[in-house]
């Protein structure tokens, strides 16, 4: 069954999540004014799947059942699937203007479909069959999965087993006849409390001494022993002020959480890797490649920011000036270059032994490396066009004040045919995208999401095939292969 937005919201109300924010337990996660906008964004991944105009991009046919499913639960069966995934990311980013939080789970499912198969081929284990049963459950119920990879890591110069606190990487602490017990935490978990399931993966390549950390499993988001601690974001408490355009994006938002596993039991049928340390690096790299492709979402958010920059230029009466027009062109050029990258790594995808199609690793990492840079330049240009009022603007309450509202209306009015409220709204949106809560998803996540910039550079150095490049150069200038 493919859920719609209303059904998704109701499904979350049935969960019994243990969530803390600002030092207090959140008793109603769905309706909390700070968390609610992020839930609204995820809900659109369900709602758009029912729109005829988006059906081709937002839905797919399950290779397990032949039924129509939400593409966020699909395992890529060909290059076309990979391309549609990129287009879906841009569509959702433009529709919500923020992170819509469902990509990490989709990428985790696809990575596990390949790694579990390969482990089975080497060791004769039954992980892939377990995984496919789990995948069927996710597809049939149209579930949102949180992909949990990043550990707190402690001292980065030390391996997991060398840390002063062994729980700084999530690990197995006990084995039972019916499952395992795990302890640790996963950090920076996007959309965690909007998810039905949490899929845990190792965060780096493990060695034999770290085999207790080489684990992957899935659990219901409200399993006993799991606690969520919501992270702070810039301007987050503006959402507590009610429906005000000072929020910037008045419809959607995002959240991040630290997810703590305090001796959590995992049944064997939910375990997809257990101490196979030699496959931990493969799972990390396959997931990372998929997730770096997923940053097509930043292209969609970039579309929104470019539209906002054009709008404020028109409101300010500067849209016809040559330097503003040139900046808008540059913003579009940078944004479309990002789109080229995500389409390229999808178009050059290939079939893995499991049957799942994976992206081109080199091009996915090149794309993500560009994502660590171009959104920052797009944001800088948007701030340039917007002007300083973006960060010195009085509040909506001041605009409505009988004492000072008249002065705001007098001195911040631009064109006579542009309502001041509209000018203030678009400035707040630009602030939100480049400095406020949405900047977490558009800028900081562009830098550190799916691995640090250095992680991508390492993968680029591995995948660039320098020996062929050197051979070609030497051949053309007459250097012998023996020289």
DSSP code per residue over 77-99? -SHHHHHHHHHHHHHHHHHHSS-
- What pLDDT score does 382 carry? 98
Rounded Cα distance, 181 and 395, in Å? 50
- What pLDDT score does 222 carry? 98
* pLDDT tens for each residue of 275-305: 999 999 999 999 999 999 999 999 999 999 9
Residue 16 burial (10 A CB sphere; 0-12, 13-18, 19+): exposed
* Residues labelled catalytic: 99, 103, 190, 256, 291, 295, 297, 445
- What pLDDT score does 32 carry? 96
Q: Return the number of other C-beta atoms located less than 10 Å from residue 285's C-beta.
A: 19
Nearest alpha-carbon partner for 142 in 48, 255, 7: 7
Task: Please tell me whether the overall predicted TM-score, pTM, comes out greater than 0.85 for this model.
Answer: yes
DSSP assignment of 219-271, as one string? EETT-TTEEEEEPP-TTGGGGGG-S-GGGSSSS----EEEEEEEEEEEEGGGE
- What pLDDT score does 461 carry? 92
Decide if 5-279 and 292-466 have a common fold: no
Question: How many residues are given for the chain?
Answer: 483
Q: What is the DSSP letter of 48?
A: G
- What pLDDT score does 438 carry? 81
- What pLDDT score does 455 carry? 87
What's the maximum distance between 2 C-alpha atoms anywhere in the chain? 86
- What pLDDT score does 452 carry? 85
Nearest alpha-carbon partner for 373 in 430, 300, 456, 431: 456
* pLDDT tens for each residue of 307-316: 999 999 999 9
- Token pair 């002065």 is at which residue? 407
Q: Where are the domains of the chain?
A: 5-279, 292-466
Q: Which residues of the chain have pLDDT under 70?
A: none
- What pLDDT score does 288 carry? 95
Phi, psi angles (nearest 5°) of residue 481: -65, -20
* 5-279 CATH: 2.40.110.10
* pLDDT tens for each residue of 8-44: 999 999 999 999 999 999 999 999 999 999 999 999 9
Whether 263 and 173 have beta carbons less than 8 Å apart is answered as yes
Domain 292-466 is of which CATH architecture? Up-down Bundle (1.20)
Start-to-end C-alpha separation, the chain: 65
Phi, psi angles (nearest 5°) of residue 183: -145, 145
Beta-bridge partners for 70: 59
């Amino acid at each position: 069954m493919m859920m719609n937005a209303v059904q998704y919201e109701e499904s979350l109300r049935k969960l019994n999540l243990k969530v803390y924010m600002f030092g207090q337990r959140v008793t109603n996660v769905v309706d909390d004014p700070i968390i609610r906008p992020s839930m609204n964004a995820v809900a659109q991944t369900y709602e758009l799947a029912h729109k005829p105009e988006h059906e081709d991009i937002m839905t797919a046919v399950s290779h397990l059942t032949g039924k129509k499913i939400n593409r966020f639960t699909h395992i890529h069966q060909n290059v076309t699937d990979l391309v549609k995934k990129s287009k879906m990311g841009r569509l959702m980013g433009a529709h919500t203007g923020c992170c819509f939080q469902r990509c990490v789970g989709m990428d985790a499912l696809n990575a596990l479909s390949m790694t579990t198969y390969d482990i089975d081929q080497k060791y004769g284990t039954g992980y892939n069959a377990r995984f496919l049963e789990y995948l069927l459950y996710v597809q049939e119920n149209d579930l949102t999965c949180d992909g949990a990879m990043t550990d707190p890591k402690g001292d980065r110069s030390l391996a997991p087993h060398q840390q002063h606190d062994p729980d700084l990487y999530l690990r197995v602490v006990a084995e039972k006849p019916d499952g395992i017990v795990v302890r640790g935490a996963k950090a920076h978990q996007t959309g965690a409390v909007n998810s039905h399931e949490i899929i845990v993966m190792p965060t780096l390549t493990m060695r034999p001494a770290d085999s207790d950390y080489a684990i992957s499993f899935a659990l219901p988001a409200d399993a006993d022993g799991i606690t969520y601690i919501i992270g702070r974001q810039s301007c987050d408490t503006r959402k507590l002020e009610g429906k005000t355009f000072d929020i910037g994006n008045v419809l959607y938002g995002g959240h991040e959480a630290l997810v703590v596993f305090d001796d959590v039991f995992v049944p064997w049928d939910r375990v997809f890797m257990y101490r196979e340390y030699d496959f931990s690096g493969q799972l990390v790299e396959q997931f990372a490649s998929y997730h770096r492709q997923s940053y097509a979402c930043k292209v969609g958010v970039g579309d929104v920011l470019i539209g906002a920059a054009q709008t404020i230029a028109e409101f300010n009466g500067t849209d016809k000036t040559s330097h503003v027009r040139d900046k808008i062109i540059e913003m579009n050029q940078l944004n479309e270059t990002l789109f080229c990258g995500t389409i390229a790594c999808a178009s050059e995808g290939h079939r893995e032994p499991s049957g799942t199609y994976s992206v081109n690793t080199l091009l996915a990492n090149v794309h993500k490396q560009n994502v660590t840079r171009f959104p920052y330049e797009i944001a800088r240009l948007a701030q340039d066009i917007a002007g300083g009022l973006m960060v010195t603007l009085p509040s909506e309450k001041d605009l409505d004040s009988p004492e000072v509202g008249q002065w705001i209306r007098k001195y911040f009015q631009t064109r006579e045919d542009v309502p001041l409220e509209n000018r203030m709204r678009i400035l707040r949106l630009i602030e939100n995208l480049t400095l406020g809560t949405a900047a977490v998803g558009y800028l900081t996540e562009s830098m550190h999401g799916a691995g640090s910039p250095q992680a991508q550079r390492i993968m680029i150095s591995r995948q660039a095939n320098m020996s062929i490049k050197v051979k070609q150069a030497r051949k053309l200038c007459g250097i012998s292969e023996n020289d």
